């Protein structure tokens, strides 16, 4: 007999014999009817866990990480409102079932469809087993290791900000709170620690943050035990965060403490930490055998603490006899088994196009904006307004573009390290905080996970965030917030949930003598590998404005996640040849955008086309006089959009040209050139060559560009290609 059957038989036997746990004589605040309703939710959660294993054995189901032992979360759901957005731990089926009951919704069929990966699953459309519901304000999560906590902080922060700047697509009532649950092992993850620290740091700074963390402490993470007392010792004295603890096995106790914590957060608008002691039954997942790493005595001790036994004790205390308690449990089991038979032949996804359909979120209908008046622009821009007819370097034009976007769209919010009072490391965000206030240009703490989490959470509430990552190399400790949270949300929710944003990142190489590989980073592969993500990289000021406006439009209207990579070395560049001022441009007129997928073309030469982007575009222009002296007639194609690669536009721009040289400042391995060369070879027969950076980090000092393409390298590669 396996452990699932043992727990099942123990429950029936102990209820029948009234062999139930000893509970507090105090009845508590849950009525008899409340207890019955919550017990039904607990039984449904348990029955679904059992059926998921049966479905897997029959080849009809594909997920067996269950919620057994965590059914006390039904009481926590009862303490919250259905309008309180909840980011749930994957063991919180009872929470979702109880919340559904609050609004008169039945969850049995929906959750079975999720187990079956059915295309009729209303949450993910068959793409993954996830807890989640648009109607229930539960954004879907996959197998999270606390990666959802940073966005929970952002969502909580957005509630107060929405009172000042109501977004067009606000999701949350002004008195709502945010709920985020996770396991005890996940508390040790850097993502959880960063989010909890950010929550405390934020309220100590004086901001409102109505957020309830809930740690479901079952004492073990897969096979590694959590040290006794570790959670309480870690969290009791965190600055800015109120600590609550409850026995999650007992509905009355769990509800009483959860309600205290909820009311504290709702009235004080400050974060709290609910430490809920639970138990894990059946092991980690279907294939996991707990007795392979726990003694039989330990496993049996956990099974003796089955929360359904505690609920049965509460119902007995409220006057319900054993037969009626057992009847609720057995009737629920039969209901789930019958429903599972009904969905046995449910359709599933099969074609790649069906699976991929929700990677790109749906567009949304928005009112046309005429933009700010010239009087408003003159007031906000101040002295800069009179300079707009004069050529300026890229950094200045990006600053002006950000100002116009912030002025035209009040739901646009910026956040990042040093972007406010300091105006950014390179001055790109100067004056923005004084123009729009600290609540719209947010100086964050030093934690990239929290910066991106703040943006993701605010996007959940209708804002259009523009987070800044100070250097590309700093993204790598937080890239999962883009890959695992932001870009995947439409996919796992069948397009029902989105978190559009434009992530600005200062990056790439060619900074002379400054910073080494931490401040010169030419690695874009991690971004280009994310399905659905748009990656843009301008090479001059006018393009930066047009592309930034397009990225903002893509986020606001098409709900896309965009990354805007700004070449640091080109921020101040004015000249191609010293003193000519050619690389500076005037500020483009309002409404000028460069559509996603449109490449830039300079020159009409037919001997050689140089396909490039960013710093490579600038360097390639510097080679033109030398190539002309060699008799090589050249055109230069600026890709601009690095993911998805603008293949069709690139081919059109190459028409009539004999040779193609790809100049790529990313690395030879996994760089942009690999994709360009593959696209060319798939449909072209011209001669190709590529010039890339070496597979190396970037050095500090005089060797800052030694591993990167140079003007001399480009000329040599062009000569060898055209005149071998």
- Residue 455 contacts residue 154 (beta carbons within 8 Å): yes
Tokens at 284, concatenated: 């980690």
CATH 3.40.50.970-classified regions of the chain: 3-344, 374-570
pLDDT higher than threshold 80 for residue 62:
yes
The C-alpha R_g of the chain, in whole angstroms, comes to: 29
CB atoms < 10 A from the CB of 684, how many?
Answer: 12
pLDDT higher than threshold 80 for residue 699:
no
Place of tokens 């050095």: 699
The 3-class SS string of 456-488 reads HHHHCCCCEEEEEECCHHHHHHCCHHHHHHHCC
pLDDT higher than threshold 70 for residue 1:
no
Strand pairing class (224-225; 687-693) = unpaired
- Residue percentage of the chain with pLDDT more than 70: 98
pLDDT higher than threshold 90 for residue 112:
yes
pLDDT higher than threshold 70 for residue 341:
yes
Confidence class of residue 702 from pLDDT cuts 50, 70 and 90?
confident
| Cβ burial, residue 582 (10 Å; 0-12/13-18/19+) | middle
Q: Which residue has the higher pLDDT, 277 or 64?
A: 277
If you average pLDDT over residues 268-293, what whole number do you get? 93
> Residue 482's closest CA among 446, 455, 507?
455
For the structural domain made of 3-344, what CATH number should be given? 3.40.50.970
For the structural domain made of 374-570, what CATH number should be given? 3.40.50.970
Whole-angstrom distance, CA of residue 333 vs CA of residue 47? 5
> Residue 491's closest CA among 364, 596, 362, 597?
362
To the question of domain 600-722 being in CATH 3.40.50.920, the answer is yes
| Tens digit of each residue's pLDDT (9 = 90 or more) over 155-185 | 999 999 998 888 888 889 999 999 999 999 9
Whole-angstrom distance, CA of residue 54 vs CA of residue 64? 9
Q: What is the model's pLDDT at position 412?
A: 96
Whole-angstrom distance, CA of residue 238 vs CA of residue 717? 59
- Residue 672 contacts residue 680 (beta carbons within 8 Å): no
Q: What is the model's pLDDT at position 706?
A: 80
Place of tokens 């890239």: 479
CB neighbour list of residue 428: distance below 8 Å, 6 or more residues apart: 395, 398, 399, 402, 506, 566, 571
Confidence class of residue 275 from pLDDT cuts 50, 70 and 90?
very high
| Tens digit of each residue's pLDDT (9 = 90 or more) over 400-430 | 999 999 999 999 999 999 999 999 999 999 9
CB atoms < 10 A from the CB of 141, how many?
Answer: 25
| Tens digit of each residue's pLDDT (9 = 90 or more) over 43-55 | 999 999 999 999 9
pLDDT higher than threshold 80 for residue 683:
no
């Amino acid at each position: 007999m396996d452990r699932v059957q043992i727990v099942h038989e123990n429950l029936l036997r102990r209820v029948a014999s009234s062999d139930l746990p000893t509970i507090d004589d105090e009845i508590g605040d849950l009525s008899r009817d409340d207890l019955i309703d919550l017990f039904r939710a607990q039984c449904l959660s348990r029955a679904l866990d059992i059926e998921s294993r049966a479905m897997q054995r029959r080849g009809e189901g594909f997920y067996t990480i269950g919620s057994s032992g965590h059914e006390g979360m039904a009481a926590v759901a009862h303490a919250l409102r259905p309008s309180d957005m909840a980011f749930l731990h994957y063991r919180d089926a009872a929470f979702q079932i109880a919340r559904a009951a609050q609004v008169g919704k039945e969850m049995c069929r929906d959750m079975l469809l999720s187990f079956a990966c059915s295309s009729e699953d209303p949450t993910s459309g068959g793409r993954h087993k996830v807890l989640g519901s648009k109607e229930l304000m539960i954004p879907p999560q996959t197998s999270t290791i606390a990666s959802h906590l940073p966005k929970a902080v952002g969502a909580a922060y957005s509630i107060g900000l929405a009172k000042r700047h109501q977004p067009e697509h606000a999701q949350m009532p002004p008195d709502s709170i945010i709920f985020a649950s996770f396991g005890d092992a996940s508390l040790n993850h850097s993502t959880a620690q960063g989010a909890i620290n950010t929550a405390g740091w934020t309220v100590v700074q004086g901001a409102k943050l109505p957020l309830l963390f809930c740690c479901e402490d079952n004492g073990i993470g897969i096979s590694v035990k959590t040290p006794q007392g570790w959670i309480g010792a870690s969290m009791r004295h965190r600055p800015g965060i109120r600590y609550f603890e409850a026995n999650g096995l007992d509905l009355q106790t769990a509800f009483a403490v959860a309600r205290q914590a909820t009311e504290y957060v709702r009235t004080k608008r400050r974060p709290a930490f609910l430490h809920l002691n639970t138990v894990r039954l059946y092991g980690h997942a279907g294939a996991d055998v707990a007795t392979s790493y726990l003694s039989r005595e330990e496993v049996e001790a956990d099974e003796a603490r089955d929360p359904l036994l505690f609920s049965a004790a509460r119902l007995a205390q409220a006057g319900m006899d054993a037969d009626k308690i057992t009847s609720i449990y057995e009737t629920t089991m039969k209901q789930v088994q019958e429903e599972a038979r009904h969905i046995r032949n449910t359709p599933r996804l099969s074609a790649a196009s069906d699976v991929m359909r929700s990677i790109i979120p749906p567009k949304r209908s928005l009112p046309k904006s005429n933009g700010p008046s010239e009087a408003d622009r003159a007031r906000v821009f101040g002295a800069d307004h009179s300079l707009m007819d004069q050529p300026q370097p890229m950094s200045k034009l990006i600053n002006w573009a950000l100002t116009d976007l912030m002025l035209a769209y009040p739901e646009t919010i910026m956040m990042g390290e040093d972007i406010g009072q300091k105006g950014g490391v390179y001055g790109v965000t100067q004056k923005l905080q004084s123009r729009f206030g600290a609540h719209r240009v947010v100086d964050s703490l030093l934690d990239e996970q929290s910066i991106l989490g703040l943006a993701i959470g605010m996007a959940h509430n209708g804002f259009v965030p523009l987070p800044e990552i100070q250097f590309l190399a700093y993204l790598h400790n937080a890239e999962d917030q883009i890959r695992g949270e932001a870009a995947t949300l439409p996919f796992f929710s069948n397009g029902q949930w989105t978190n559009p944003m434009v992530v600005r990142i200062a990056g790439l190489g060619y900074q002379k003598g400054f910073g080494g590989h931490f401040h010169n980073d030419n690695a874009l592969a991690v971004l280009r590998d994310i399905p659905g993500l748009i990656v843009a990289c301008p090479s001059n000021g006018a393009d930066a404005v047009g592309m930034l406006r397009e990225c903002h439009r893509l986020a606001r209207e098409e709900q896309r996640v965009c990354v805007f990579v700004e070449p640091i070395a080109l921020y101040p560049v004015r000249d191609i040849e010293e003193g000519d001022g050619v690389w500076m441009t005037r500020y483009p007129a309002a409404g000028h955008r460069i559509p996603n997928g449109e490449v830039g073309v300079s020159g009409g030469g037919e001997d050689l086309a140089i396909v490039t982007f960013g710093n490579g575009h600038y360097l390639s222009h510097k080679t033109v006089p030398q190539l002309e002296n060699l008799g090589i007639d050249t055109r230069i194609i600026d890709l601009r959009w690095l993911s998805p690669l603008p293949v069709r536009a690139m081919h059109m721009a190459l028409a009539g040209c004999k040779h193609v040289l790809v100049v790529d400042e990313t690395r030879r391995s996994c760089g942009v050139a690999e994709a360009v060369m593959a696209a060319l070879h798939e449909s072209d027969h011209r001669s190709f060559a590529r010039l890339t950076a070496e597979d190396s980090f970037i050095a500090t000092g005089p060797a800052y560009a030694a591993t990167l393409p140079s003007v001399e390298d480009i000329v040599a590669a062009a000569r060898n290609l055209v005149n071998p």
